[in-house]
């Protein structure tokens, strides 16, 4: 039985998509069967895996509309053991289209229910907002992984996200757990980066992943080649960090 993990933070530019793509690819390399769902209209996870977004005919949009099944929406990628449900700019319209639909928060949950037996991990790359798309992802997920960048406003907005998670637990998904907080864009030369790490660990303790994702040029270059960091430069610090995160996630879940 697979685990569904939403990767969410309503703050943009914290490394959500970078984490979704590279964690998914790392889990695949470690021989886990992985499905990545791109639930962001910007479709960066889709293009980051080398898929031409314009050519996407069936993806997350059709899934949420229930005009296609999850099985029809899945495409394979060049990354070992990694499948994708792609996104397209069309997805922008879904929030408006679903506004009067009954049980609109459960559309994704319903659509992917049957997939848990086919994968070890299903990762959902969320949009940088707390709108209906993210709500659908959190309602469908078993847990949420929250990337936080090691910068000045890191904790700003985190309270809002945690409150949203609490209300989803109350109303839509009592079983939603926090998988962990992931520190990203860390630069050891900066005092500020180290202060943020200390502060997040002081506030959240055990909830913070041991692995910290460091700033890495290769990591920023990989998406423009439509590759994960694992296939773009397996010897880079970025690949090392994400493989370490994948190991940590697997260990944590096998213990439970």
The pLDDT > 70 percentage for the chain reads: 100
For residue 67, give both structure tokens. Answer: 């005009």
Give residue 154's pLDDT: 79
Give residue 140's pLDDT: 97
Cα 72 to chain centroid distance, Å, stands at 21
Segment 141-147 shows an average pLDDT of 97
Give residue 133's pLDDT: 94
7-38, pLDDT tens digit by residue?
999 888 899 999 999 999 999 999 999 999 99
48-74, pLDDT tens digit by residue?
999 999 999 999 999 998 899 999 999
Helix (H) or strand (E) holding 222: none
Residues in the chain: 256
Query: Residue 82 and residue 39: Cα distance in Å, rounded?
Result: 16
Q: With bands split at pLDDT 50, 70 and 90, how would you rate the model's confidence at 170?
A: very high
256 pLDDT above the threshold of 80: no
Strand pairing report for 177-186 and 75-76 = unpaired
**Which of the pair, 61 or 95, is modelled with greater confidence?**
61
User: Rounded to two decimals, what is the model's pTM?
Assistant: 0.96
Cα torsion through 126, 129, 134, 135, rounded to 10: 170
Q: What is the CATH number of domain 3-255?
A: 3.40.50.300
Contact 91, 37 (CB under 8 A): no
Q: From 35, 80, 34, 32, select the one nearest 60 (Cα to Cα).
A: 35
Secondary structure letter of residue 54 according to DSSP: G
Q: From 55, 78, 120, select the one nearest 254 (Cα to Cα).
A: 120
């Amino acid at each position: 039985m697979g685990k569904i993990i939403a990767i969410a933070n309503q703050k943009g530019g914290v490394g959500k998509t970078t984490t979704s793509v590279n964690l998914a690819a790392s889990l695949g390399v470690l021989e886990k069967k992985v499905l990545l769902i791109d639930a962001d209209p910007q479709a960066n996870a889709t293009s980051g895996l080398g898929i031409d977004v314009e050519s996407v005919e069936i993806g997350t949009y059709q899934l949420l509309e229930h005009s296609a099944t999850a099985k029809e929406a899945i495409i394979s990628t060049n990354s070992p053991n990694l499948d994708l449900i792609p996104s397209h700019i069309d997805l922008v319209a879904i929030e408006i289209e679903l506004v009067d639909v009954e049980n609109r928060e459960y559309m994704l949950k319903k659509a992917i229910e049957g997939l848990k037996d086919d994968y070890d991990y299903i990762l959902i790359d969320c949009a940088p907002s707390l709108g209906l798309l993210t709500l659908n992802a959190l309602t469908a997920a078993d847990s949420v992984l929250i990337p936080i960048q090691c910068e000045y406003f890191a904790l700003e907005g985190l309270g809002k996200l945690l409150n949203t998670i609490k209300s989803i637990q109350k109303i839509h998904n009592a079983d939603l757990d926090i998988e962990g907080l992931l520190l990203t864009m860390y630069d050891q030369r900066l005092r500020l980066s180290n202060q943020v790490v200390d502060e997040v660990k002081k506030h959240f303790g055990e909830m913070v992943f041991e692995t910290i994702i460091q700033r890495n040029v290769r990591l920023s270059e990989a998406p423009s080649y439509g590759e994960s960091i694992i296939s773009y430069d397996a010897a880079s610090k970025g690949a090392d960090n994400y493989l370490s995160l994948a190991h940590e996630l697997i260990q944590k879940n096998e213990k439970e």
